[in-house]
Amino acid sequence: MTDIITDAEEAGFANDRTQSNTLGEAARAYVNRVRGGDMGALPAILGLLVLFIVFGLANDRFLSALNMANLITQAGAIIVLAMGLVMVLLLGDIDLSAGVTGGASAAVMGLAIADHDLPWGVAVLGALVTGAVIGLVIGLIVAKVGIPSFVVTLAFFLGLQGLLLKLIGDGGSVRVDQEVIKGITKNNVPPTWGWVLAVVVIVVYALLALRSHRLKVSKGLQHQPLAVVVAQIVALAVILLVVTYVLNLNRAPNAGFVIEGIPYVLPLVIALLIAWTMVLGRTAYGRHVYAVGGNPEAARRAGINVDRIRISVFMFGSSMAALSGVIAASNLGKVSTSSGGGNTLLYAVGAAVIGGTSLFGGKGKARDAVIGGLVIATIANGLGLLDQASYINFIVTGGVLLLAASVDAISRRRRSATGL
């Protein structure tokens, strides 16, 4: 922190800038922010573009509609798990048990359907409650006993694998045959409804963004230039329409069959993205989560119940893990003793960090999970198409994670140096 106040800063508030007037100025301000270390989602988006270009050139099947649909169903479970982890990471905590929490919760769902013939809704609710209870216990231990979350969740990582073994039995697995559960990843939204959904999302987003912009201008508050708002709307519209178009193509490998439409998992992910973006960005609860992650002592003095925030965040994180376990079970068609183990958790942490969530707490958004999850899934998918040995997959993913964590650490240093 510099003690020198420049003239420009000194002049400051008197003519407090409420906007950068032109698109050019806004772009320059953005470049300055990025150079100052506030990168946001930029590295991940650029990385995703590079991956798409490289894999697209290396294998002509990569960009096919069939593979894009595969990519989305593969990314679904990672993204949902990563969304839960973003919340935990926002507090500066970690949940190493999130993957196996998903596995254990999915096992509860699978057994409820297979052994007890319960309706799918009840079974999924059971999985979510399982996740929430696990999160509650972890949160209570971390907040009230004061053990670092790293250690607590490492213990749960081991313990829950034992629970999973007990539930399913050695080496066995539970088949997930229920139509609706399987349908999350296997069935598709009818193409017409896909278009309707895409257009509705675009129109609602555009109306909200324009209304908020008008309100800010009329009250003389800080706002972006209209051109930037419009550019954001157009970018969203283009992405959604292109994705909808590609997924609405017939992607059946054999003539005579028709497979078309958006896999149901995509609208599910978008709904979760909107919900968490609203909760974190627009509610007092979300604001308090950021505050606790930034400075717990300041949050406490501001009258925020820090323990309650921490416990609730672990509950939300584990519930999202449970949902992710359900999606993974849908994609795999079964829950096995290794569900949620292996690299599941590390992929999700990697996704959150690659997307721009800081490991140091206080910085991150729900969209980080989506962008980072797509990067991770793209690496696995693309290398799979190139028939690479699986060791390459591990090495590349590890390298990307390391790169993302370095970007986080270095940009953090630059931020404190430039004071952005």
Partner 1 sequence: MSTSPLLELRGINKSFGVVHVLHDVDLAIYPGQVTALVGDNGAGKSTLVKAVAGIYPLDSGEYRFDGKPVEVHGPKDASALGIEVVYQDLALCENLDIVENMFLGREMKTGPVLDETSMESKAREVLASLSVRTVKSVRQSVSSLSGGQRQTVAIAKAALWNSKIVLLDEPTAALGVAQTRQVLDLVRRLADSGVGVLLISHNLTDVFEVADRITALYLGRVAADVATKDVTSRQVVELITTGTSSDLDGAAAPSATA
Q: Which residues bind partner 1 (CB under 8 A)?
A: 1-3, 5, 8-14, 16-18, 215-216, 219, 221-222, 278, 282-284, 287-288, 290-291, 293-295, 297-299, 301-304, 362-363, 415-416, 419-420
Nearer to partner 1, 196 or 221 (CB): 221
Are the CB atoms for 135 and 325 separated by under 8 Å?
Answer: no
Torsions phi, psi of 356, nearest 5? 120, 5
Are the CB atoms for 291 and 361 separated by under 8 Å?
Answer: no
Give the separation between CA 101 and CA 230, rounded to whole angstroms.
41
Nearer to partner 1, 166 or 413 (CB): 413
Nearer to partner 1, 250 or 416 (CB): 416
Cβ 94 to partner 1 shortest distance, Å: 18
Are the CB atoms for 104 and 134 separated by under 8 Å?
Answer: yes
What 3-state DSSP class applies to 124?
helix
Nearer to partner 1, 28 or 282 (CB): 282
Nearer to partner 1, 220 or 399 (CB): 220
Cβ 299 to partner 1 shortest distance, Å: 7
Cβ 22 to partner 1 shortest distance, Å: 17
Tokens standing for 412? 């953090």
Give the separation between CA 46 and CA 24, rounded to whole angstroms.
21
CA atoms within 13 A on the CB side of 202: 21
Cβ 294 to partner 1 shortest distance, Å: 4
Instruction: State the amino acid at position 419 in one-letter form.
Output: G
Are the CB atoms for 394 and 343 separated by under 8 Å?
Answer: yes
Sign, CA torsion 87/89/92/97: positive
Nearer to partner 1, 10 or 115 (CB): 10
Rg (CA), the chain: 22
Torsions phi, psi of 303, nearest 5? 90, 10
Sign, CA torsion 319/322/327/328: positive
Cβ 161 to partner 1 shortest distance, Å: 35
Cβ 91 to partner 1 shortest distance, Å: 12
Nearer to partner 1, 146 or 303 (CB): 303
Nearer to partner 1, 12 or 162 (CB): 12
Cα 308 to Cα 33, 250, 285, distances in angstroms: 34, 49, 11
Nearer to partner 1, 234 or 417 (CB): 417
Cβ 47 to partner 1 shortest distance, Å: 24
Cβ 274 to partner 1 shortest distance, Å: 14
Nearer to partner 1, 166 or 211 (CB): 211
Which alpha helices (DSSP H) does 59-114 contain, by range? 65-90, 98-114
Nearer to partner 1, 3 or 117 (CB): 3
Nearest Cα to 138, choosing from 157, 123, 118, 164?
157
Which alpha helices (DSSP H) does 91-225 contain, by range? 98-114, 120-140, 149-168, 179-186, 191-218
Strands (E), 102-204: 173-175, 188-189
Cβ 368 to partner 1 shortest distance, Å: 15
Are the CB atoms for 303 and 324 separated by under 8 Å?
Answer: no
Cβ 13 to partner 1 shortest distance, Å: 4
Cβ 297 to partner 1 shortest distance, Å: 6
Give the separation between CA 403 and CA 222, rounded to whole angstroms.
35
